[in-house]
Chains A and B, each alone.
Chain A
Amino acid sequence: MNSIKNIDSFGHVRGESLFVDDIIVQQNTLYGLVFDSPKAHGTIKKLDIAKAEAIEGVIKIFTYKDIPGENQIGGIIPDEPLLADNKVHFVGQPVAFIVATSDSIAKKARAIIEIEIEELPIITEAKEAAAKKQFINKPRTFNLGNTSKAFGDCDYVFEDEVFTNGQEHLYLETQGAYAIPMENGSIKVTSSTQGPTQVQKAIAKVLGIGMHHIEVDVIRLGGGFGGKEDQATPWATLAALATYLLKKPVKLILNRHDDLRMTGKRHPYESNFKIGLSKELKIIAFEADFYQNAGAAADLSPAVAERTLFHATNSYFVKNVKTTVYSCKTNLPPNTAFRGFGGPQGMFVIEAAIAKAAHEIGVTAKEIQEANLIQENDELPYGQIMTQAEAVNSWQSTIKKFNYKKLASEVETFNNKNKDFKKGIALMPICFGISFTNTPMNHARALVHIYQDGTVGISTGAVEMGQSVNTKMLQIAAQIFAIHPDKIKLETTNTTRVANTSPSAASSTADLNGKALLKACSAILERLKIVAAKELKVNEKELSLQNEWVYINSKKSSLSWKALIANAMLERIALSEKSHYVTPIIHFDKTTEKGHPFAYHVYGTAIIITTVDCTRGTYVFDSIKIVHDYGKSMNQGIDLGQVEGALAQGVGWMTMEEIAYDKKGNLLSNALSTYKIPDIFSIAEDIEVIPLETDGNEMAILKSKAVGEPPLMYGIGAYFAIQNAIKAYNPNYKLKFHAPLTPEKVLMSLYEN
């Protein structure tokens, strides 16, 4: 592939790229450590920090009493204190913040802080919370047609329960921030956050000062995946609080165990479904109740819950749909955004329903999937009419390009020949809406400076976290100005240069910021053309830029890019531009739950083939073959990396990544030795991704569709591929929908009676 490489590659491979923990610290920098609740629910009866504070080198231990502003960091709902006051709601909840001259001194202090908690009843599961009416907010319901009536017309009706476990983000770089005092009571915070504005806002609120006093700077993230959208905030705020009160630089980097214990994860869901089909395998009606395990505070749970409803019918058109989601309040760390944002949990349920129906009716899931794909102008349960729908196109391309028939018959032949190993094959179509479902968040800004030597500096609200958004931004500017990439620098993401930003999330970062950047660059280009037209004495419409030179009707002129910029300076033309972009068309009415919330959808279909070792209950993936809808990819190398990376996370979520809490709310999978994410040997040997042939979509940046989240959901197919292999071995196996499908569950299923 010849597309431009990640512009950070040079620094990355040499170990020269800077992350928060790598910044050379100022003299007298202090080190923070969080003392957290050892109990999942209770009233704090005593908190003794005196002995810990007396240790030499401990500067101060902060509690909620030290907070000058509001003790509140909740985003959507103000229900989350920065430091616990008299109550604790989950194990890992920050109670005090130790600041010392070194990390090891802070650790010694933490070990001798005494806390007494009078325990209150603990809830760790969603349905348990629902039974006790513990909710974050009101349930939401999406409705289309009339399900109760429609079930009466169905030839088949099936119901079942479904569980999907949470998922740890496991960004390789743990959470962290470094705050330094500036003059006049201002603070600069370098944070590993996807949402710099969110951090700025929370700090201002907690300190009780204006946002203009807080500068948040983000160099880059060592992975985010949603885990640093809202949950980078407490750590940056704690560091800023200490800096504000002590007038000293304070660094807080969570160690891995603290990070795992204190931060939220993908939401576990307990769900019920009811599916009704006709003899022709048309899904006539579908109902689902989703019980989302939100944890102890709202965080982003209401928004995540909403997206579950948006994707509850995945790539299928169903005439009668009723889905309800309950955000259930439990005594776990507040669960949060994770690539897919509730979509995967929704999609898994309808795929489970299809698997169940197929099993009971005695057909393949493929036959049901195929009979119900979204067609042009279908209306989805939330009212959006689907245009440029690619569900059928991507499905058929997959079947044809990878010769599905041959693959399926090979699986069958293998299974007929082999007793101790069984193969399973599954298809997984996806349809994922692009835009923040909260319409007001769909905006972005970009600031472009052309310096007088012809080099360019770009600031946007986009946070670089490995998705190579900065590379895409650079491509846009390089294309419009027709200059060499070396002449362009992507600046850090900084709230003083680009303010009031939406977080880098919802797969929309490149679209929103890219469109804003495109506007800014185009505006400067127009001004430059006027300068050039005057200089060259031609009409500006005849001018274009190519290879750092001005062209007149595709003939090279005497004017170079560098000379043009020098001229513009003399002509006193503005060489800077700030542009603002808002996504057009989209709207959504939360009272009727209808509207047009998405700019467009991303489609694709995967074939997953697995081999299960029926002696040991282990499995490998032979191949995963995908036709993916990139639109017109602006960078095939980078976009392929997004597909492969998301796929690995999706497969991990479905197979080996198992979060475990005990009944007391203690995280058992609390280290990398007990929480396993895919390693190089667990990836399918053969992964092939072919771009879907389409015209692209104008709503996407340069027609190149968003790619961050959608491919994660191909991983759902892994569950059903393994399940099909289990079915091939054990005729007594009773279908279960309980993810992840670990080797333990596989072995127990292979040998159940």
Chain B
Amino acid sequence: MIEFILNNKHIKTAEHNGITLLDFIRDNQQLKGTKIGCREGDCGACTVLIGTLQENKIVNYQSITSCISPLGNAQGKHIVTVDGTNLQDKLTTAQQAMTDNYATQCGFCTPGFVVSLTGLALKNTFISYGDGLNAISGNICRCTGYKSIEKATKNVIDSLQKKDTSNPIKWLVENNYIPKYFATIPERLTAIISENKSTKNSNYVAGGTDLYVRNADKLAEENINLLTANNELTGISFYKDNCAIGALATVTDLMYNNAMQVYFPEIQSFLKLVSSEQIRNMATLAGNFVNASPIGDMTILFLALNCNITIKNADDKLRTIALKDFYTSYKIYDLQKNEIIVNIAFEVPDSSHHFNFEKVSKRTHLDIASVNSAINIKTSGNTIENVHLAVGGVAPIPKYLHKTSAFLVNKEVNIEVLKEANLVMQKEIAPISDVRGSSDYKRLLARQLFFAHFTKLFPKKISLTELVA
């Protein structure tokens, strides 16, 4: 049985845990406000909120796309659809802002925007205008051209500046953001006891953001082993110079982790290039690794961190392998049927390290890269002591550039070295032409992103003009 709260209703269902949350909402519960746009997490028309009760008894709400979310992941949570935000006979503040600004035309994407904006209001942190745009970054509208939606978002954010952070739910209810019943949710969630059923089933699903795009029909009928119920696989911890990340950490977890922001001051702008907020809330780090897409953003980023992954088998035996040795060929990697990744560890950079991530796609946000690249350089004075360079989209696997990295060691950062390094790189990569770009383009782009690392990290020494001359 799966037990959770849907809007103001207690749900206990014997439905299969692998059906999508969207189908449960629309077909089983006949709530038609949540729309089907694409069934691959790329439009946001099916956006709902998932509320998790935290230890401090506050519910943390995040937006997700219900079309690629397994119903089982709702266990013990509060799921909010647009219907669950509605007030009796009047509009919520988010709904009113959309109406006032002419931000709804055909109305099909609108419920998704409303839910995302409601999720924004429910955030337990300070909210800036940038957060507002991020909140709706996974919502596509084909009618308005977004300017009216931007205005609506701005209205919402302006009014949220007055939010009483000591009792946010009370304030949000009083200010017509959410219905009264939200105040009862923490207590009601406490009453739901989620048992940690251990199963030997190797049909693993975590966030589902990739598996459900490819295989939703199949997963709906299979008994799946939902890893997200496993608390041992979460968390981000630091010990001395090392960082350990639970395999189920989401992109959002990384993006807003305070320590990560200290070590990687630009992490938010890097990870903003990864998918949309809805997907970042669901997608796990290990999920990205085992997806094994040659263009996986997180994989490329963590290859440059030269991380190790710890793998556990059915008998709870552990082994550790470097991520750069994990992949053998296209979508083939060193993981047996009953094994899962449990942990990701890397050495945190100090001030002698320079880290950068680059990504170019047809659309800057919520798109798959044509080429992406990350680099981690340790310098001593003017000399490169050590470097880890990874480039995606240029090989059958997420590519750690062994030769190029080795070439750069003990070299000085200067134009000549970088030009030569590019030649080494061009021999090390072998992009193919596909819908993400021609091989010629990808080669040129790989060069440009490689150069971009250095113009960005060493602006005083390296200029693009000299590099491409």
Task: Give A contacts to B, CB under 8 Å.
Answer: 1, 5-6, 8-19, 21-22, 24, 104, 107, 169-174, 220-223, 225, 253, 255-256, 419-420, 465-468, 614-618, 637-638, 640-641, 644-649, 656, 658, 660, 668-669, 671-674, 676-683, 687, 742-744, 747-748, 751
Residues B254-301 near A (CB distance < 8 A)? none
**Which of chain B's residues has its CB closest to A170's CB?**
B142
Complex Cα gap A107–B215 (Å): 13
A-B contact pairs, 24 of them (CB 8 A): A5-B100, A8-B107, A11-B107, A13-B96, A107-B217, A169-B142, A171-B106, A171-B108, A172-B106, A172-B108, A255-B39, A420-B465, A615-B464, A640-B102, A641-B148, A644-B147, A668-B435, A671-B38, A671-B40, A677-B142, A678-B145, A679-B366, A681-B133, A744-B362
Q: Which of B27-35, B56-64, B192-200, B304-312 contacts A (4 or more CB under 8 A)?
A: B27-35
Note all chain A residues with C-beta closer than 8 A to B441.
Answer: 744, 747-748
Given known contacts A420-B455, A743-B362, A256 and B38 CB-to-CB distance under 8 angstroms = yes
Contact A419 B465 (CB under 8 A): yes
**Which of chain A's residues has its CB closest to B32's CB?**
A22
Closest Cβ of chain A to B114, distance in Å, is 5
Complex Cα gap A9–B444 (Å): 48
Closest Cβ of chain A to B113, distance in Å, is 9
Note all chain A residues with C-beta closer than 8 A to B463.
Answer: 419
Q: 3 closest pairs, A vs B, by CB? A: A15-B33, A466-B106, A222-B108
Q: Is B451 an interface residue (CB 8 A)?
A: yes
Given known contacts A6-B104, A172-B108, A467-B105, A15 and B34 CB-to-CB distance under 8 angstroms = yes
Q: Is B437 an interface residue (CB 8 A)?
A: yes
Q: How large is the interface on B (under 10, 10 to 19, 20 to 34, 35 or more residues)?
A: 35 or more
Note all chain A residues with C-beta closer than 8 A to B99.
Answer: 5-6, 9-10, 13
Note all chain B residues with C-beta closer than 8 A to A10.
Answer: 91, 99
Note all chain A residues with C-beta closer than 8 A to B109.
Answer: 172
Name the residue in B358, B363, B367, B468 with the highest tally of chain A Cβ atoms < 10 Å from its Cβ. B363
Name the residue in B150, B367, B434 with the highest tally of chain A Cβ atoms < 10 Å from its Cβ. B367
Q: Is B160 an interface residue (CB 8 A)?
A: no
Given known contacts A14-B91, A683-B147, A223 and B108 CB-to-CB distance under 8 angstroms = yes
Complex Cα gap A618–B98 (Å): 31
Given A15-B81, A668-B434, 16 extra CB contacts under 8 A: A6-B104, A10-B91, A12-B98, A13-B94, A14-B33, A15-B111, A256-B39, A466-B107, A640-B148, A641-B144, A641-B145, A644-B146, A645-B142, A648-B144, A649-B142, A677-B142
Contact A13 B91 (CB under 8 A): yes
Q: Which of A220, A674, A678 contacts B106 (CB 8 A)?
A: A220
Residues B74-89 near A (CB distance < 8 A)? 81-83, 86
Note all chain B residues with C-beta closer than 8 A to A669.
Answer: 435
Give the total number of A-B pairs whose CB atoms are below 8 A apart: 234
Q: Is B426 an interface residue (CB 8 A)?
A: no
Note all chain B residues with C-beta closer than 8 A to A637.
Answer: 102
Q: Is B110 an interface residue (CB 8 A)?
A: yes
**Which of chain A's residues has its CB closest to B147's CB?**
A644
Note all chain B residues with C-beta closer than 8 A to A648.
Answer: 144-146
Closest Cβ of chain A to B298, distance in Å, is 17
Closest Cβ of chain A to B97, distance in Å, is 9
Complex Cα gap A672–B149 (Å): 21
Note all chain A residues with C-beta closer than 8 A to B121.
Answer: none
Note all chain B residues with C-beta closer than 8 A to A682.
Answer: 363-365
Q: Is B449 an interface residue (CB 8 A)?
A: yes
Closest Cβ of chain B to A397, distance in Å, is 21
Interface flags, B308-332, vs A, CB<8A=1, else 0: 0000000000000000000000000
Contact B102 A5 (CB under 8 A): yes
Contact A12 B43 (CB under 8 A): no
Complex Cα gap A360–B111 (Å): 51
Q: Which of B137, B142, B468 contacts A681 (CB 8 A)?
A: B137
Task: Give B contacts to A, CB under 8 Å.
Answer: 30, 32-40, 42-43, 45, 81-83, 86, 91, 94-96, 98-100, 102, 104-111, 114, 133, 136-137, 139-150, 213, 217, 220-221, 358, 360-368, 370, 434-435, 437-438, 440-441, 444-445, 448-449, 451-452, 455, 463-465, 468
Closest Cβ of chain A to B433, distance in Å, is 11
Name the residue in B368, B434, B435, B465 with the highest tally of chain A Cβ atoms < 10 Å from its Cβ. B435
Complex Cα gap A687–B464 (Å): 31
Contact A13 B448 (CB under 8 A): no
Note all chain A residues with C-beta closer than 8 A to B83.
Answer: 14-15
Contact B440 A680 (CB under 8 A): no
Complex Cα gap A9–B106 (Å): 9
**Which of chain B's residues has its CB closest to A682's CB?**
B363
**Which of chain B's residues has its CB closest to A221's CB?**
B106
Given known contacts A15-B81, A173-B108, A617-B360, A674 and B137 CB-to-CB distance under 8 angstroms = no
Contact B110 A12 (CB under 8 A): yes
**Which of chain B's residues has its CB closest to A683's CB?**
B146
Name the residue in A220, A225, A465, A676 with the highest tally of chain B Cβ atoms < 10 Å from its Cβ. A676
Complex Cα gap A253–B148 (Å): 30
Complex Cα gap A225–B448 (Å): 38
Complex Cα gap A646–B145 (Å): 7
Complex Cα gap A22–B220 (Å): 22
Closest Cβ of chain B to A637, distance in Å, is 4
Q: Which of A465, A647, A683, A748 contacts B440 (CB 8 A)?
A: A748
Note all chain A residues with C-beta closer than 8 A to B362.
Answer: 656, 658, 676, 742-744
Closest Cβ of chain A to B455, distance in Å, is 7
Note all chain B residues with C-beta closer than 8 A to A742.
Answer: 362
Given known contacts A13-B104, A221-B106, A616-B452, A647 and B145 CB-to-CB distance under 8 angstroms = yes
Contact A641 B105 (CB under 8 A): yes
Note all chain A residues with C-beta closer than 8 A to B140.
Answer: 172, 672, 677, 679
Complex Cα gap A614–B465 (Å): 10
Given known contacts A221-B106, A656-B363, A21 and B43 CB-to-CB distance under 8 angstroms = no
Complex Cα gap A11–B448 (Å): 49
Complex Cα gap A467–B109 (Å): 14
Contact A12 B137 (CB under 8 A): no
Complex Cα gap A13–B106 (Å): 11
Note all chain B residues with C-beta closer than 8 A to A24.
Answer: 30
Complex Cα gap A564–B423 (Å): 87
Q: Which of A222, A645, A744 contacts B107 (CB 8 A)?
A: A222
Name the residue in B45, B94, B104, B438 with the highest tally of chain A Cβ atoms < 10 Å from its Cβ. B104
Note all chain B residues with C-beta closer than 8 A to A674.
Answer: 435
Note all chain A residues with C-beta closer than 8 A to B36.
Answer: 21, 174, 253
Closest Cβ of chain A to B436, distance in Å, is 8
Closest Cβ of chain B to A551, distance in Å, is 32
Contact A680 B150 (CB under 8 A): yes
Contact B43 A672 (CB under 8 A): yes
**Which of chain A's residues has its CB closest to B117's CB?**
A13
Contact A683 B435 (CB under 8 A): no
Q: Which of A13, A21, A640, A743 contacts B370 (CB 8 A)?
A: A743
Closest Cβ of chain B to A406, distance in Å, is 23
Q: Which of A222, A225, A256, A676 contacts B40 (CB 8 A)?
A: A256
Q: Which of A5, A14, A656 contacts B86 (CB 8 A)?
A: A14
Note all chain B residues with C-beta closer than 8 A to A677.
Answer: 140, 142
Closest Cβ of chain A to B174, distance in Å, is 20
Contact A672 B107 (CB under 8 A): no
Complex Cα gap A648–B148 (Å): 12
Contact A172 B360 (CB under 8 A): no
Q: Which of A104, A676, A748 contacts B363 (CB 8 A)?
A: A676
Name the residue in A12, A13, A174 with the highest tally of chain B Cβ atoms < 10 Å from its Cβ. A13
**Which of chain A's residues has its CB closest to B449's CB?**
A616
Note all chain A residues with C-beta closer than 8 A to B107.
Answer: 8, 11-12, 17, 220, 222, 466
Given known contacts A8-B104, A172-B106, A222-B107, A683 and B145 CB-to-CB distance under 8 angstroms = yes
Given known contacts A677-B140, A683-B145, A615 and B448 CB-to-CB distance under 8 angstroms = yes
Contact B142 A12 (CB under 8 A): no
Contact B37 A15 (CB under 8 A): no
Given known contacts A220-B107, A677-B140, A618 and B364 CB-to-CB distance under 8 angstroms = yes
**Which of chain B's residues has its CB closest to A256's CB?**
B38
